[in-house]
Amino acid sequence: GQNIDQPTEMTATEGAIVQINCTYQTSGFNGLFWYQQHAGEAPTFLSYNVLDGLEEKGRFSSFLSRSKGYSYLLLKELQMKDSASYLCAVTDSNYQLIWGAGTKLIIKP
Amino acid sequence: ETGVTQTPRHLVMGMTNKKSLKCEQHLGHNAMYWYKQSAKKPLELMFVYNFKEQTENNSVPSRFSPECPNSSHLFLHLHTLQPEDSALYLCASSQAMEGGSEQYFGPGTRLTVT
């Protein structure tokens, strides 16, 4: 079966750095997405990785290793507004998005 | 403003009612999706439409019936629902189904079945 694993919840301190991991087992791979979802709101796109390596976008970076079925989202200089759920999703061989359950990130002052 | 709108935002219905959820995208996208989001569970893909043609139906019960009259509008018709169908129903659209097309989500309809 297809599976995406990510931690259920993480806590970090304002101004710090946090890394949210995602591992996947899917039938084929056509890219990995990270989305942010604030409570009561729609998910919004953060990043897309299809090749191995690190993609940096401001305070957020996303890393992919296809051979290991592994990705992480790195958030730097954490702000209170970064408190949200972070969803990892993989596009399989049929171009269907397989979603993880999300990681709830709690930022403390 | 995400460019994807959904109505109603909240809906309470009895198990014998019939109601419809509406989604509209103003982005000129070709693919539209219905998802179900339950607490602490992954997003569940229900239906996919690509150029108005349904391409995916993930074993969704027949009490959920989608309709896509054109590439900008998507409906989810509901009838004789069960309490376990209570969830957030999200609509999304993307430029294409292939490649790195990110999906844009609407705000969702919070459905409660009593």
Give per-residue pLDDT as tens, B16-49: 889 999 999 999 999 999 999 998 888 999 999 9
Give the minimum alpha-carbon distance from B43 to chain A in angstroms, rounded to a whole number.
Answer: 6
**B92, B78 contact by CB (below 8 A):** no
The whole-angstrom separation of Cα B2 and Cα B23 is: 12
Q: Which two tokens stand for residue A10?
A: 């993480």
| B40: nearest CA partner in chain A | A101
Model confidence at A23, in pLDDT bands (50, 70, 90)? very high
Nearest to A42 among B45, B97, B105 (CB): B105
Which positions in chain B touch A96 (Cβ < 8 Å)?
45, 48, 56
pLDDT of B1 higher than 60? no
B42-77 residue pLDDT tens = 899 999 998 888 877 778 999 999 999 998 999 999
Which positions in chain A touch B99 (Cβ < 8 Å)?
30-31, 95
Nearest to A95 among B42, B97, B106 (CB): B97
